[in-house]
Homo-oligomer: A and B are copies of this chain.
Amino acid sequence: MGLREAKKERTREALIEAALRLFEEKGYERTTVAQIAAAAQLSTRTFFLHFPAKEDVLLADSAPRVELGVAALAERRPGEGPARALLRAIGAMVADASGKDLPSGVAAARTRLVATEPAVQARLLQRMATAQTALAEALHRAYPDELDAVSAAAVTGAAIGAVSSAAVAALRQGQTPEQVRAAMLRAPATAAAHLTE
């Protein structure tokens, strides 16, 4: 990596760090982008050079995760049905998400902010929606004979809906990250069992 990219990466991380610190101190709404930039010794304009919107400073690393899932679906294994493939893809994404241990309470702080701030929540939901349609299309491509486009969407929506909804519920109950992860992995089976009865 050249010196240029390295510097760019450093300013990006300086912005993220400053933002998280200020959000903790004064709350999300009460922190302005100008203040974040100033705390990182940068101009306001620079912030928007790195992030399309204020919310995105909190959702910095979700794009690559989606490609991981799509890739997992593309690599269709012999004898593996669509459901198993989808669950494997979701499992890979969940593992990737819980794999990166951020320093101390950063992850917790981020979770709290996502849960609390409507603007951040909205942006995350939007990203999940596009990710979901990408996964559904990948699933349809991998199993064109077994699943038409609408069915693929239904299955994908159900699986992801179960997982994310279970995650939120588990988090609300104050469960540990490990318990939350377990609940997410259990969710599709639980949901399917009840829905077919």
Contact = CB atoms under 8 A, between A and B. Distances in A.
Contacts of A197: 81, 83
Nearest to A186: B154
Interface residues on A, range: 35 or more
B190 A192 contact: no
A6 interface: no
Contacts of A156: 165
Interface in A155-197: 155-166, 168-170, 172-173, 183, 186-197
A116 interface: no
Interface in A76-99: 81-83
8 contacts: A81-B197, A122-B122, A136-B169, A153-B166, A154-B191, A157-B161, A159-B195, A192-B196
